[in-house]
């Protein structure tokens, strides 16, 4: 029986976004504070996902051995280092989150049956790499607070209560929504980026967070005058708002995940749900943060 297992590791390191062929002004313009000397640091959290059949001992891989491979090939070399200098790959392509994930895959692939690398720079920014040449995924996490009421105008209050329960009460209720937006793109061979992070965050802020935050969605967002603002419909609308803007930045909107509460979340994809999703459900990112990323 095929199964995916996940191993977590950590390392602390610094890096700088700086291309020596560019002048100081152009580096500052392109990379902002990331270009500042002598660089900045992160507590990186790494998830290594392996795939294989469950053996006679009930394991895909011996996790003690996996731990030692990750330590030998990655964390012992990167911990407390300046990433731009530590591996030759980072002289060729800057050590962005997405490129670090790619290079870690390349370092581990000869030793482990990899299916996915996830690297968290911090709880609100992480990259995923699946071994597909220069293609990678980058996720930004943010939040907004809003109220809504779940009710169809063509139904009576009693009928709406039958369908939506307490959520149909006339004065609505609120949530602290947690939003994850994932883009897909090709890693630039020099900058290491699949999208300009500042522009990516600005698109989310301008098109979603600022318009949605501290609103009554049914009344303040025109789209929801005729659409019930369930988590599913909100996620679809956010996808539609962001899709063209992200395409203009040179990437593809891959996924929007909206977490309404610790018990309820939904996700929608840029086109359709991929047919190659892993056969088992991965640990939710919110659980990863609770497990020690923050």
Active site residues: 167, 214, 260
In sequence order, what are the residues at sequence separation of 6 or more whose Cβ sits closer than 8 angstroms to the Cβ of residue 158? none
Judge residue 279's burial from the number of C-beta atoms within 10 Å of its C-beta, 0-12 exposed, 13-18 middle, 19 or more buried: exposed
């Amino acid at each position: 029986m095929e199964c995916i297992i996940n191993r977590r590791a950590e390392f602390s390191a610094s890096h700088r976004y700086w291309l020596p062929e560019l002048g100081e002004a152009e580096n500052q313009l392109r990379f902002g504070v990331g270009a500042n000397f002598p660089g900045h640091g992160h507590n990186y959290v790494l998830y290594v996902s392996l795939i294989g059949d469950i053996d006679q001992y009930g394991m895909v891989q011996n996790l003690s051995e996996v731990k030692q491979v990750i330590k030998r090939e990655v964390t012992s070399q990167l911990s407390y280092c300046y990433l731009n200098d530590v591996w030759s790959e980072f002289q060729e392509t800057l050590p962005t989150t997405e490129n670090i994930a790619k290079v870690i895959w390349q370092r581990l692939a000869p030793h482990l049956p990899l299916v996915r690398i996830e690297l968290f720079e911090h709880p609100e920014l992480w990259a995923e790499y699946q071994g597909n040449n220069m293609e990678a995924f980058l996720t930004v996490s943010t939040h907004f607070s809003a109220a809504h009421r779940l009710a169809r105008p063509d139904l009576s209050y009693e009928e709406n209560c039958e369908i939506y329960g307490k959520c149909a009460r006339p004065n609505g209720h609120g949530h602290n929504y947690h939003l994850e937006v994932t883009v897909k793109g090709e890693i630039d061979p020099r900058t290491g980026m699949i999208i300009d992070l500042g522009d990516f965050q600005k698109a989310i802020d301008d098109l979603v967070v600022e318009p949605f935050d501290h609103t009554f969605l049914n009344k303040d967002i025109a789209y929801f005058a005729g659409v019930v603002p369930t988590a599913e419909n909100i996620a679809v609308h956010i996808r539609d708002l962001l899709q063209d803007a992200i395409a203009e930045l040179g990437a593809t909107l891959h996924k929007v995940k909206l977490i309404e509460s610790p018990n309820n979340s939904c996700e929608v994809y840029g086109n359709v749900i991929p047919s190659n999703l892993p056969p088992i459900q991965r640990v939710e990112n919110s659980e990863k943060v609770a497990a020690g990323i923050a």
